[in-house]
Structure 1
Amino acid sequence: MLIRLNWITLRVRDLEASLRFYHSMLGLPIQRRFESRGRQIAMLGSENETKLELIEGSEPLLKPEAGVSIGYEVRSLDEAMEQLAALGIPIARGPVQPNPHLRFIYITDPDGFEVQLAEHT
């Protein structure tokens, strides 16, 4: 059996706030927006990569304290940190360099989910 990761779903309180964070600030493209069973949904991410599905609703099944983080790779962590500072997004943890080839930081989205930005060298 061949499988591949298609999307990761986060249930968010305010879809517009989450779209400002993930799309406007972090630059993830919005692939599509739609309504299903009375819920607003947005799929974000570039073509041919795993998508982030945001579903607006009041009952999150996955809570930030579950210990789940979403990881994205960046070309330059230093440039990413400068852009985050300019956008007023604080770094929650890091930078951490567990080995000579990897550096990363954590930021949090509007619902408190951790987003890891990593640079591989």
Structure 2
Amino acid sequence: MNLSLNWITLRVRDLEASLNFYHGILKLPLQRRFESRGKQIAMLGREEQPKLELIQGNDPALKPECGVSVGFEVESLNDAMEYLQSLGIPVARGPIAPNPRLRFFYVLDPDGFEVQLAEHSKE
């Protein structure tokens, strides 16, 4: 069996607030938006990468306390922190440097899910 990651789903309370965060602030491209079985759904991400699927509803399959986080690579951790803080989005945890080649921090999305932004050094 040869598997590749297709998407990760987050069930959100307010799709517009989540789209503002993931598309408006984090700049993830909005690939498509549609309705299925009465639920509003948005798929975000770059063409060649796995997608983040946001489903609006009041029956979350995952709650923020479950320990799941969504991680993204950034070119500059310092620039990402500065940008988010300028928009009033506080750092929830970090920055953390578990080894010389990796640094990351977390912010919270509108539903309280942790979003990790990480910078890997080339050396």
Q: Distance in 2 between matches of 1:19 and 1:117?
A: 18
Match for residue 69 of structure 2? 69
**CA RMSD across the alignment:** 0.4
Letter aligned with residue 115 of structure 1: V
Match for residue 33 of structure 1? 33
**TM-score (normalizing by structure 2):** 0.97
Q: Distance in 2 between matches of 1:11 and 1:97?
A: 30
| 1:43-99 CA-partner distances (Å, limit 9, x unpaired) | 000001010000000010111100000000000000001100111110000000011
Q: 1:10-25 to 2 correspondence within 5 Å?
A: 10-25=10-25
| 1:7-40 CA-partner distances (Å, limit 9, x unpaired) | 0000000000000000000000000000000000
Report how many aligned residue pairs link the two structures. 121
Match for residue 102 of structure 1? 102
Runs of 5+ consecutive residues of structure 1 not aligned to the other structure:
none
Letter aligned with residue 69 of structure 2: S
Percent of aligned pairs sharing the same letter: 72
Match for residue 3 of structure 1? 3
- Is 1:80 matched with 2:88? no
**TM-score (normalizing by structure 1):** 0.99
Q: Distance in 1 between matches of 2:26 and 2:48?
A: 18
